[in-house]
Amino acid sequence: MVGQPEIRTQRLVLRRPRLRDAPRIASLLNNYEVTKNLARVPYPYTMNMALDWLLRQKREWSPEAVTFAICEKRAGLIGFCGTHREGQFAEIGYWLGQPYWGQGYMSEAVRATIAWYFASSGSNRLISGVFHFNGASLAIQNKLGFVTTGIGTRICLAQHAEIEHIETEVTRGAFFAAIAAQDGQTPAP
């Protein structure tokens, strides 16, 4: 199998995770303000947890199962974005270290990841979702053409609770129409 692709944007490089990323991951995720927004990440978050997670990352990848380290060209690793199979469809998930919030990095990374996903897969749909209080993440999804498909619940390890979760999805057509509108272009038919 060919090595995992690297995605470059104006400010970011999205690349395969590396074992040497562990200290940075532990540092960024050992922050309740970050982990309270994530289903499967406990708090506190330790170096051993980061190493364990990195060791479990598979060498094989596909558009439906890939993890990208989000690296800002000066700051280095600032978060993660990736897909995994969730039932019938792939699901995109992402997180960003708190010092990098509000600067458009996650919108840039998610947009690039979804564009790559649709270019690399035969799928016409991608699912996601956010905890009900995570308005910033929902705003990113809305900007990229996601729509709400329902309300459910998910366990949040950091909060030790089952929390209301807004389920979302985006189709290939809705995504490309949304980015064309952002770029001031007319979407292709």
pLDDT tens per residue, range 5-25 = 999 999 999 999 999 999 999
Above pLDDT 90, what percent of the chain? 87
Q: With 90 as the cut, is the pLDDT of residue 186 above it?
A: no
Above pLDDT 70, what percent of the chain? 97
Fold of 7-182: Aminopeptidase (3.40.630)
The per-residue pLDDT for 142 is: 98
**Token digits of residue 161:** 């609770």
- Mean pLDDT computed over 127-151: 98
Quick one: CA dihedral 30, 32, 36, 37, positive or negative? Answer: negative
Tell whether omega for the bond before 44 is within 30 degrees of 0, i.e. cis.
yes
The per-residue pLDDT for 59 is: 77
Q: With 90 as the cut, is the pLDDT of residue 66 above it?
A: yes
Q: Give the residue with greater pLDDT, 3 vs 182.
A: 182
Rounded Cα distance, 85 and 89, in Å: 6
pTM value? 0.94
Q: Alpha carbon of 70 to those of 14, 24, 41, 107: distances in Å?
A: 5, 12, 17, 12
pLDDT band per the 50, 70, 90 thresholds, residue 58: confident
**CA 64 to chain centroid:** 13
Q: Are 41 and 70 in contact (CB under 8 A)?
A: no
The per-residue pLDDT for 13 is: 98
The per-residue pLDDT for 187 is: 60
pLDDT band per the 50, 70, 90 thresholds, residue 184: confident
Residue position matching structure tokens 């995992």:
4
The per-residue pLDDT for 188 is: 57
Q: With 60 as the cut, is the pLDDT of residue 28 above it?
A: yes
